[in-house]
Structure 1
Amino acid sequence: MTSHNPRSGRRAPLSEQANPSWMGHIPEENYRPAPVNSAGRLRADLPPALPPALSPAPPGAGSRRSAGAVGLVAAGVVLGFVSLFLVLPFLLVNTGVTGFVVGFVASLLPLGAVLFAVRVIDRWEPEPRRLLLFAFIWGASVSISVTMLIQPFFSLAAGPASGLDAQTFAVTVQAPVVEEFAKSLGLLLLVLFARKHFDGPVDGVVFAFTVAGGFAFTENILYFGRAIAESSDPGTELAMVFFLRGVMSPFAHAIFTGTTGLIMGFAARRGNTGLAVAAFGVGLVPAMLLHSGWNSMGRNFLAQYVLVQVPIFLLAVLVIVLLRVAENRLTRQRLREYAAAGWFTAAEVDLLATGAGRRSALRWARSGGRGPQMKALLHAATRLAFTRQRILSGPDVRAHQIDEQHQLADVAVLRAAVIR
């Protein structure tokens, strides 16, 4: 494999390491060297000896907000607020005030498990909190109202043709199709209006888990609250429902919708928004099938849970681990290319692009009172690596190169703030 060398006009060998993982593979013709640091030789390695004075956080170090992402979040908040006028009365009618309060509190526990998983998955390249907020609001409020509005029409259109009785149709067809569509609409909006933050499978999983966590939270309020309101033995009924939904299956919705996010993320990694939009339809199929399979478990629930659902959960964990490993390798390789262009030293790449190196860097920086600057540098370096990946992927190269120049300037200021 070869790449073009703009200085010599010849094609130089393209290192096999330029494609460090299956997730970061790039076509040979798209490869281009990282821009050279015109400031010259780096004056020190990280970490140096820290002087006692503290350095302020550098200007411009925060992530730049695109108009599309800001508008998306604003629209999400408005839609979420409006949706509450449909969702809250529905919950209160079905649960009563006491059931609603108890269900709300009990639902926080499985929600906490899902959000903790999101944080663990998202630690390497954290998504903007405002977009995670949009994803949660979409799942907890907007997607619920969309589901409630669409379900009657779907039932009228598809119910008679299915040949199933009303209850079976509602559980195994209607709920999987309508709910997965409603939840995944949020992912589609993220791809369309926050494209730079939804550019890989890990991003897709993070956003999908957040949407699904919000949806399951509201749905759990309904189920837990109804166990209080409709049972002659509410304590026992609530314990049984909580064990089923809060202990045995807190990640069920996350895994269903996560498959859609995963497929959309792989498409987005190709740098083509149209392909990512098409992947929305493709990704809905496995999500709906998984959802229907879960809802179809009946008399042999325990056997199916152990033999089918547990392996699916373990497979999901394995996929996420493999994605994280590939993401780490990709970050390290792209930062090596920036190091070759003079933006970092080779030792700094290990510090910025490995888990052990990052932990060591943060401990060192916090001991000198510069933890926030180091944390900002770690995040900025990771964003820079993925910006380079977008540049090498092909489409919208010029726009990504402009973003790269801004990020390189931020990284240089952050690095200087940490080492001086």
Structure 2
Amino acid sequence: MRVGGITVLLVSCGLTVLELLRRTVGTEGFLVGVALSALPVPLLVAAFWWVGRVHPQPRRNLLFAFGWGSCAATLIAVLTNERVGDWLTSVDPGDSERLTLTVVAPVVEETTKGLAVLLVFAFRRSGVRGVVDGVVIAGLTATGFAFTENILYLGKAFGEDRAEGSEALDGATAATFLMRAVVSPFAHPLFTAMAGLGFALACTGRRRSRRVLAPAGGLLTAMTLHGAWNGASMLGPLGFLLVYVAFMVPVFGLMVWLAVRARGDQLRTVARQLPAYAVTGWMAPAVPSALSSMATRRVAIDLARAAGGEAAVRDAREYQEVATALALLRAGAEHRGAAPDFTVREGELLRRLWRCRAIAQPTLAQAALLTQRPVRVPPGWAARPGWVAHPGRATPGWPATGRPPASTAAASSGPGVPPGGGRPSWPVIPRW
């Protein structure tokens, strides 16, 4: 019911904003704008897909984010910017354009885009684990917003070229496309990623003040960057170039570094947290290390496809996603304290993990042997630091990880579980 209602809302907003744009720029300009605006979208979507690949967001979250940005956020922004701009023109005609560009548009647009992040974090909280999720949701929202907004600018530019008799390749259309799709395709995603980062920091902190200040600070930073970017366009070519090179490029580089580092942190969390489940028999000892490498994961998927076709691939992918979610859940409990529903959520993830183990664990173990240098398991490996949870770092009542079911033949003979349950005993594991 909720999904259907949201879909109807977004589709209605999308049809409305597209019709408004068509009336504004004309049918021909609209079609040209749609075609040119779509060109950078696959690059942007692929970039955010790569960032979030370690722990993929549920598809519904991603579709909602892009749909909100391209439909609802743009409709609200177009109508609000127009109304406020008209009011400013009646009050102060001389400064209305500058104020609209540097104040009104950044505040309105970043607020509407940030609403998507807020809604996902509020109603789909279980799929949000940290910085990467915030950046991905915000980035896809802004990608959708930029797509629809570019239709307006490119359609207007095409109309200007037609009115002046200019060729599109050397007129305003080409200049607008170069500026918005080649020089700065990541502008909107960069701004909104700040808001996503703020919401993510709020979700990963214990202090109540952080839960309020982090989103507010992220949204304010997004508005400031957006206002500075719009203001730079009023400084002339040299002024714009200076702002672009000296300010926007370093900020973009910093955000890229942060996203890549956060992605690496997720893999390191997998390597640190999953051995606790290997110790108790939920997975083979080779699995934690295998899952901490994207290259090994890819090889495991290929092995699963060769062994059992697409059905095996689905199980292998689900296993990888569930195991990663399990590691991030446990890391969050260690960092912020175990939530009241921790045991329930952990148990559900473990049951899903156990159902998918038949093909996933052997292929991961084999992939680890193919891609990582193996070493012999030393005596007492289960007691090595990092292989078990650290109760001292958790809140009182930290739930102990149970053992997998061993009452049936299928369970007791699963990968990593010796006959009768008990501690796994594989001859080799990859080096940590």
User: 1:368-399 CA distances to partner (integer Å, 9 max, x unpaired)?
Assistant: 12333222211111111122233334467232
What letter corresponds to residue 209 of structure 1 in structure 2? Answer: G
2:186 maps to 1:251: yes
> Identical aligned pairs, as a percentage?
35
2:259 aligned partner: 320
Moved more, 115-124 or 385-394: 385-394
Query: In the alignment, is the contact (CA less than 8 A) between 1:107 and 1:220 conserved in 2?
Result: yes
Moved more, 223-232 or 410-419: 410-419
2:64 aligned partner: 134
2:377 aligned partner: none
Moved more, 333-342 or 177-186: 333-342
Residue 368 of structure 1 aligns to a residue whose secondary structure is helix
Structure 2 portions without partners, runs of 5+: 363-413, 415-432
Residue 397 of structure 1 aligns to a residue whose secondary structure is coil
1:290 aligned partner: 225
Q: 1:48-63 maps to which residues of 2 (within 5 A)?
A: none
Residue 230 of structure 1 aligns to a residue whose secondary structure is helix
Distance 2:345 2:89 in 1: 50
Q: 1:15-414 maps to which residues of 2 (within 5 A)?
A: 71=2, 73-151=3-81, 154=84, 165-231=95-161, 232=164, 233=166, 235=168, 236-270=171-205, 276=211, 279-297=214-232, 298-299=235-236, 300-369=239-308, 370-394=312-336, 397-414=339-356
Distance 1:163 1:390 in 2: 53
User: 1:172-220 CA distances to partner (integer Å, 9 max, x unpaired)?
Assistant: 1111111001110111111111111123110000000010000000001
Residue 375 of structure 1 aligns to a residue whose secondary structure is helix
What letter corresponds to residue 103 of structure 2 in structure 1? Answer: V
Q: TM-score, normalised by structure 1?
A: 0.77
Query: In the alignment, is the contact (CA less than 8 A) between 1:136 and 1:210 conserved in 2?
Result: yes
Residue 109 of structure 1 aligns to a residue whose secondary structure is coil
What letter corresponds to residue 68 of structure 2 in structure 1? Answer: W
What letter corresponds to residue 36 of structure 2 in structure 1? Answer: A
Structure 1 portions without partners, runs of 5+: 1-69
Aligned-residue offset at 1:147: 1.4
Structure number with larger C-alpha Rg: 2
Query: In the alignment, is the contact (CA less than 8 A) between 2:52 and 2:263 conserved in 1?
Result: no
Query: In the alignment, is the contact (CA less than 8 A) between 1:377 and 1:414 conserved in 2?
Result: yes
Query: In the alignment, is the contact (CA less than 8 A) between 1:104 and 1:221 conserved in 2?
Result: yes
Aligned-residue offset at 1:416: 2.4
Aligned-residue offset at 1:158: 8.0
Aligned-residue offset at 1:342: 2.4
Distance 1:413 1:277 in 2: 40
Residue 124 of structure 1 aligns to a residue whose secondary structure is coil
Aligned-residue offset at 1:79: 2.0
1:8 aligned partner: none
Residues 273, 211 of structure 1: alpha-carbon distance in 2 compared, 3 angstrom cutoff:
farther
Distance 1:361 1:414 in 2: 14
RMSD between superposed Cα atoms in Å: 2.5
User: 1:316-366 CA distances to partner (integer Å, 9 max, x unpaired)?
Assistant: 211111111111111221112222232123222111222232133223222
The number of equivalent residue pairs is 350
